[in-house]
Chains A and B, each alone.
Chain A
Amino acid sequence: MPLLVDQLQWEQPLTPEFEDPAWEAEVRALFGGMMPSVLKRIACSPWVRRTYLDLMRSPINTLTSAEVELAGLVTSQENACRYCYGTARVRMKMMGFTDEMVDRIERNVQLVEAEPRERELVQFCRNLARSKPRPSRKAREQMRAVGFSDDQTAELAFAVAAMGMGNRVSTLLAVPPELGMEAEGNKVKGIWQKLSSWVPGKKPVLKLPPVDYPPPTFKGPYASLVRSLEGLPASSTLEVILNAAFSSTVLPRRTLSLIFAVIAHTLECERCERTAGEMLDVEGFSRDDLGEVLGALASPRLTEMEALLIPWARDTVWMPEQPARIQERTRPLLDALGPEVLVEAVGAAALANGCVRLTMLQV
C-alpha cells in the first residue's frame, strides 16, 4: 500500500514565490480570493503555470465530480505527492465524502467490499499512475466490462495523467502543503454542511470555471495523442498545452524532445519515442545521437544543461515511496540551472510523463 499523507517526508521548497501581480490577480479571481502556493512557485514560467491551471480547469464531461476527485486522490497518493494528496483529501471531504470513505479508499485493503465500478476505477487509476507496466487494451476492456464507456475511460485516463503532471510539479519543487486549507477542511462539519453537500445542484466548494479552447487542429506536436481524445474537451486542452510547451523560449524544443524520448524509453512507449525522434530530426539531432543518449543517458552531443537533465528525467518516471528522495535528487539542478530553468524542466518532465501514460489509449 502506498504511504498515507502523514507518512510522507517532504523537503524545503526548491523555488521561491515569484511575484507577478497580473498572474496573482487572475488566479485569485478564479479561486475566490485564494492563491495556491504552487501557482506562485511556478509563476516564472508562462507555459508551466498556464498548464497547471488549465489542467485543473479542463472540463470532464462523462464522469461525475466524485469520480474525478476519487481519481485525483488515488493518483496523488500513488505518486506520493504530499501537496496534492493533502488538498485532494480536503476536496473529497468538501464534496461530502466521510472520513471513513476517504480512509477506505486510501487504505485500499477494503476495496473488495466496494462496488465493481468503484473498485475498477480505483485500480485503473493506481495502475496508470504507477505504469509498471503501462496499462494496455486489456485495462480498457476491463473498464468496459464494468460499465465505463470508451469516452469515460479516456477522460479518466486524462484525469490521471493531468493529476500526475500536477503531482510531479508539486513534488519535484517540494511545494509546501496547503496546511491552512487542510486544517479548515479537516474540521468536523456541522449537520447542515453535511446535509447541504448532498443538495441536488449544489456546486462543490472549489469548482473552477472551465477553460474554453477552440476545437483541436491535430497539427501540433504529438497530434496522434491529441487525436486519441477526439470529441472530448481534453483534446483541446492537451493541444494548447503541448503547443505552448514546445514554443518555450527558456527550454529549447530539442531539450524538451529529448526529455520526452527518455521518459518514453523508460516506459517502453515506442510510439512516443518515435515521435520524439522525428521532432529531433527537425532540430538536426540524428537518430544515432538519440540512440547514444538512450543507451547511456549521456552523449558528447548534449549541452551541459541537457547532460544534467537527461539522467534526472529518467528518475521522474516512478516517484519513490518517499518524495524527499527525488527532491534531494532535484536540488542540485536548482543550483546548476537556476529556478527559471528548473521550473521549465520540471514542467517538461511532468508533461512528458503525463503524455506517455496517456498513450495507453492508443494501444
Chain B
Amino acid sequence: MAYIPHTEDERQAMLAAVGVRSLDDLYQAVPAAVRFPDLELPEAVSELEVMEELQALSEANLDARHTVCFLGAGAYNHFVPSVVDHILRRGEFYTAYTPYQPEVSQGTLQAIFEYQSLICNLTGMDVSNASHYDGATALAEAAILAYNHHRGKRSKIVLSPGIHPHYRQTVRTYMQGMGLNLVGDAALGNDSAALAGLLDSDTLMVAVQYPDFFGRIEDFTALGKAAHAVGALLCVCVNPLALGLLKPPAEFDADIVVGDGQPLGIPMSFGGPSLGHFTVKKEFVRKMAGRLVGETVDGRGQRGFVLTLSTREQHIKREKATSNICTNVALMALASAVYLSAMGKRGLRQVAELCYHKAHYAAEQIGGLKGYTLWNRGEFFHEFAVRCPRPVADVNRFLLDECGILGGYDLGQDYPELRDHMLIAVTEMNSKEQIDDLVAGLKEVAHV
C-alpha cells in the first residue's frame, strides 16, 4: 500500500505488543452491525497511472496558459516569478503544522511576521492577522468584529453594491443567525453619497470595495467621516495589487481593511486556495479574528517570534472567542510575502501601472467600437464594464471559437440592470497584440 511502511513481521510484533491477535480486534468498540463496510470505490492505481489520468482531466479544461484571458471578477491572471513556487515547495514550509511550538517553528513564524509587516505597509494599517481563507470570508469576519465592537447592540450593516457578489453572499450566509439587517446593495446606483445616507445610530459597519467589482476607484474619506459620525466602522475591501499604485485605504481613515491576496503571487487554481487579508487599526487588535505573530525574546535574549494574543481564540476562549477560525491559509500568506519581497517597491508599482495603462488602452479601443458603450464613468484600475450589442454569452462564444480568447464576465448574472454588460480585466499578462485581437473580435461579433 502506498505510503504505509509496515512489513508483515512488524505488524505481527506490534499486534502482539498491543495484546490483540488481528487488526480486526482493534475495533471491538465499533458497533458490529456497521463495522467494515464494503466501500464502493475504484481500485488503487499507481503514481504513473494517476498522473496520466490527471493530465487528461487537466487538459479537458481551458486555462490561462493556453488561452488568452480577459476574465477577472475577483480572480486574476498575473505573472508569478519562479522564485515564489520554489520557496513554497520547501517541505520544511508546506509540511509543517501551525506554529504552536515556537522553538521548532521560527521559519513559519518569522515568515508570517514579515507577511503581516508587508500587508500593514501596503494597506497603511496598524495590524494584520496571519491570514484568512479568502476575501469573502475576511469581509464576513470584519462584520463580526464590528458587531462585537458594538456588543451586539447595533443591527444594521451597509454594503456597497460594488462589492463582489460572492463576498456579499458570504456575509449574508455568515450573519443569518444573528438577526441583522443588511442594506445598501440592492440598488446598483447606490454610490458613496447614497450609502452615507443610509447610515444611522443602529449601523455597525459600512463596507465598500476598492477598486470595486467594476474596477472603479474613488476616495472614501467622506464616507469614513460619515460612518464615524454615527459610530459605525468603515471597512474597505481591497485588491492589494492595486495598492502598488493607489492611495492606501488607511488614508480614508478605514477601521478595517480586508481583501483577497490571490493577485500577489498565487495561481488562480479555479478559485482556491486564495488568501484573505485582514487588517485593522490598533484599537481593534483584541477584537480581531485569527492568528497573530508577535516578536519577543528567548531566555538567552535572542529575538524570536510566537503566536500571541491567543486569548482571543477558540482553543482558549471557546464560545467567547472572536471567531472559530484556526487553520487559515499560511502557505498562501508565505507566497504573497515572497512575491512582495521579490517584486519589491519598484516591481509592484510597475505591475500595477502596466495593468492600469493596458486596461485604459483596452477601454479606449473598445469604447470607440460601434455598438459598444463603456459603462464606467470615473476613474478605474484594471477592470471595466462595457455594454455589448449582443448577449455576453454569444460574444464570449465567438471570442473563444474564433479568436481563442476567454472573454469577460457576464454582469447580467448578478445585476439585472446590467444585462448584456461584460466586465473585462486586463493585466500585465495581456500584450497589446492580445488587446488588439480582443478589440478586433468584439468588432467582428457585433456584425455577425
A binds B: no
Q: Chain B: residues with CB nearer than 8 A to chain A?
A: none
